[in-house]
Amino acid sequence: MKKNWDFIIQGTIPLGKSLKNLASKRVPTQLQMNNSEHVSRGALIVLEGLDRCGKTTQCGKLVSFLEGRGLPVEAWRFPDRNTDIGRMISSYLTNRSQLDDQAIHLLFSANRWEKRSLMENKLRNGTTLVVDRYSYSGVSFSAAKGLDIEWCKAPEKGLIAPDLVVYLDIMPEEAASRGGYGSERYEQLEFQRNVAHCYRILHDAAWKVIDARLPLDSIENEIQRFALESIKSCQKKPLSTLWLNN
C-alpha cells in the first residue's frame, strides 16, 4: 500500500522532497523562568493525526504506562468539551448548531487559551501532560476548509509549545474503514484528505511520525520510548511558546 506520506519517521528524518513545506516551522520562544524554574518540570506531549487514527487509545495507554512508572501525569484532550466554549464546539461538531468557519476556528483556539494558565502551572510543577490534539489539529482542520494557513496559526501564537509531537500516520481511506467513522461533522473522506495535506504543510522535522497501521503494541512501545526521552530531556529546559517568531 502506498503510504500517506513518503516517509515514516521512527526517530527524526528530514521531510521527503516531494512534500513542499509551505508554512513556517515552529520556532519556540522561551518563557521567562521564575526562581523555582530550575526544578524538574513536566513534559507537554501531544498526539496528532486524522480522525480514527488511534490517538485516543494511545494517549490512554501512555498515561497508564507513565503512571505505572510512578511519574506524575495527566490526560488532556482538545477540544475540552466541559467548558462553556467547549460545549459550543461540541454542539457544532455533532451538527446541532451551525457556525461560520472563522468563528469556529477562533472558538477552538479560545478553548486552548482558556486552559493555558492551568497547563503552564501543571508543567512547571512537574506534571507531564499527554494531550489528544492541540494547535496543529486546529490549524490543519480549519485550513482544510480553505482558510489561509497563516491566519489559522495567528491565534495559536503564544500557546505553550509541545516538547514532543507524535503523529500517527494513516491513509484517509483506511481511517474511514474503522469503526464509528462518520459520527461527527469532520469525519468525511474528502475533507480528511485535505486535513492530511495540511498536516504535511505544518510538519516539523522534530515530529515523531509512526505508521498507524502497525500492531498496537508496536505503536505503544514506540510512543513510550519517545515519551521517556522527552520527559528526561526537558526537565531542566524552560517552557517555550508556539510560532511567536513567525
Rounded average pLDDT over 99-111: 98
CA angle (174, 51, 167) in 5-degree steps: 90
What the block records as the C-alpha cell of 177 is 474503514
What confidence score (pLDDT) does residue 30 get?
Answer: 59
Residue 236 banded pLDDT, cuts 50, 70, 90: confident
Indicate whether 7 belongs to any domain.
no
Q: Does the structure show a pLDDT above 80 at 49?
A: yes
In the chain, how many domains are there? 1
Indicate whether 230 belongs to any domain.
yes
Q: What is the dihedral of CA 187, 85, 99, 93, to 10 degrees?
A: 20
What confidence score (pLDDT) does residue 25 get?
Answer: 45
What confidence score (pLDDT) does residue 31 get?
Answer: 59
Residue 234 host element (H or E): helix 216-234
Q: Which of residues 51 and 4 earns the better pLDDT score?
A: 51
Indicate whether 69 belongs to any domain.
yes
Computed on alpha carbons and rounded to an integer, the radius of gyration of the chain in Å comes to 17
Indicate whether 26 belongs to any domain.
no
Indicate whether 80 belongs to any domain.
yes
Residue 172 host element (H or E): helix 172-176
Indicate whether 72 belongs to any domain.
yes
Range of the domain at 64: 39-240
Indicate whether 5 belongs to any domain.
no
Rounded average pLDDT over 138-160: 98
Does residue 59 contact residue 132 with C-beta atoms inside 8 Å? yes
Could you say which DSSP state residue 46 is in?
Answer: E
- Cell 495567528 locates to 154
Q: pLDDT tens digit string along 163-195?
A: 999 999 999 999 888 877 777 788 899 999 999
What confidence score (pLDDT) does residue 28 get?
Answer: 53
Nearest to 128 by CA among 61, 60, 42: 42
CATH number at 58 reads 3.40.50.300
Separation CA 111–CA 81 (nearest Å): 9
Q: Does the structure show a pLDDT above 80 at 41?
A: yes
Indicate whether 12 belongs to any domain.
no
